């Protein structure tokens, strides 16, 4: 369970523990399978759907024998639409609901024995459709619905990410409803045995992973241990959201490329280095409290979540250092994880 974050990966990240590296790469492959399974051809009649049947998704996406069985396809719906005054655009540009990932449950007895539990994976791809890009740009913070607690200072998340998580159409349920329903089934089926829930994603998928983790732990009192493994994720919410995640026992491992701009947006971060709730009578980033309060009211002050594993494209001789797209690519992240040894040896060519 320490590899799942039970001890916040203490003494496992620097130097990077070999088994933890293997687990990070394994969960990265689940995300890679989500990308490969998505029909991204705008000319295809099945654009924005899953290319493969559930029972063969992992093998046909090139993952091989995993011991996991996909039990649920997941869709995300954009809460924005193309303005009516924009006429004549191709239908694929206005696609509102798209396949975003899947839920998979470990069924292999040997894998369950290796892990010491039955693992459930929720994997999300990153941004692909036009309206998903539009949602990404809705970057101000908004209060989390259904939060039970003080109205002031409650958890807030990026407006566009929340929209993708909670929006629905007459045809499709929201991503939130699909996840809640599936997790309810899983707890009912396997709740009497050791169980873990690992939510993983890249870019937009990393943001949705954190939202899902918060929602699951807030909804289910008997939720299993929840771990997020995120690759190149943007900022998602404020300090209060981070505090709620910490209180719930959720463990978050953020894999970050220091040369990738996406983890540095949206908004900006003020940190005090203390408990996330103890901001009274302190100066944050050398700013008086009243200035911090004014800035927070602009709904642009975010917080970084969880533990960070920081990598750098500059350390690898195999990567195009000038390409921002390369720096953000999931393949780059997995390549850097393979080669990372420690902060003193950030990349070992022999291992990559």
The one catalytic residue among 240, 312, 328, 329: 328
Q: Does residue 64 sit in helix, strand or coil?
A: coil
Q: Is the peptide bond before 217 cis (omega within 30 degrees of 0)?
A: no
Strands 251-257 and 195-202: unpaired
The one catalytic residue among 203, 212, 312, 313: 203
Q: Is 283 a catalytic residue?
A: no
The one catalytic residue among 259, 260, 304, 329: 260
DSSP alpha helix (H) spans, 38-80: 57-60
User: Strand (E) positions, 50-146?
Assistant: 68-77, 97-106, 118-124, 141-143
Q: Is 173 a catalytic residue?
A: no
User: For residue 28, which of 334, 335, 310 has the smallest C-alpha distance?
Assistant: 334
List Cβ neighbours of 288 (8 Å cut-off, separation of 6 or more).
none
CA distances from 298 to 57, 293, 294 (A): 43, 9, 7
User: Strand (E) positions, 167-285?
Assistant: 195-202, 225-231, 251-257, 268-269
d(CA 335, CA 352): 6
Q: Is 91 a catalytic residue?
A: no
d(CA 150, CA 186): 32
d(CA 277, CA 128): 36
CA distances from 230 to 72, 123, 186, 209, 210 (A): 20, 10, 22, 7, 8
Which of the residues are catalytic? 203, 260, 328
């Amino acid at each position: 369970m320490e590899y799942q974050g039970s001890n916040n990966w203490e003494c496992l990240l620097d130097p990077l523990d070999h088994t933890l590296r293997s687990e990070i790469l394994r969960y990265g492959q689940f995300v890679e399978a989500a990308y490969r399974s998505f029909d991204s051809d705008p000319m295809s009649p099945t654009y924005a759907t899953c290319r493969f049947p559930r029972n063969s998704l992992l093998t046909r996406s090139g993952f091989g024998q995993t011991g996991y069985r996909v039990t649920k396809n997941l869709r995300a719906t954009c809460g924005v639409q193309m303005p009516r005054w924009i006429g004549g655009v191709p239908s694929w540009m206005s696609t509102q609901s798209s396949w975003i990932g899947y839920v998979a449950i470990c069924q292999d007895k040997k894998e369950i024995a290796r892990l010491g539990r039955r693992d459930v994976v929720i994997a999300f791809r990153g941004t692909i459709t036009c309206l998903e890009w539009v949602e990404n740009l809705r970057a101000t913070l908004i209060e989390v619905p259904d939060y039970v607690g003080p109205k002031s200072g409650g958890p807030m998340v990026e407006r566009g990410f929340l929209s993708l998580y909670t929006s629905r159409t007459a045809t499709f349920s929201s991503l939130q409803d699909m996840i809640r329903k599936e997790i309810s089934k899983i707890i009912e089926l396997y709740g009497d045995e050791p169980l873990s829930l690992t939510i993983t994603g890249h870019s937009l998928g990393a943001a949705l992973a954190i939202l899902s983790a918060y929602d699951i732990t807030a909804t289910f009192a008997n939720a299993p241990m929840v771990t997020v493994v995120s690759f190149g994720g943007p900022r998602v919410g404020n300090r209060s959201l981070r505090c709620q995640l910490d209180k719930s026992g959720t463990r978050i491992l953020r894999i970050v490329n220091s040369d990738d701009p996406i983890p540095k947006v949206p908004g900006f971060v003020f940190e005090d280095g203390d408990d996330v709730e103890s901001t009274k009578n302190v100066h944050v980033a050398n700013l008086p409290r009243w200035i911090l309060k004014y800035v927070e009211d602009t709904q642009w002050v975010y917080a970084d979540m969880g533990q960070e594993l920081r990598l750098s494209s500059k350390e690898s001789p195999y990567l195009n250092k000038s390409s921002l797209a390369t720096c953000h690519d999931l393949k780059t992240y997995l390549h850097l994880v393979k080669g990372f040894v420690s902060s003193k040896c950030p990349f070992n060519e022999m291992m990559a």
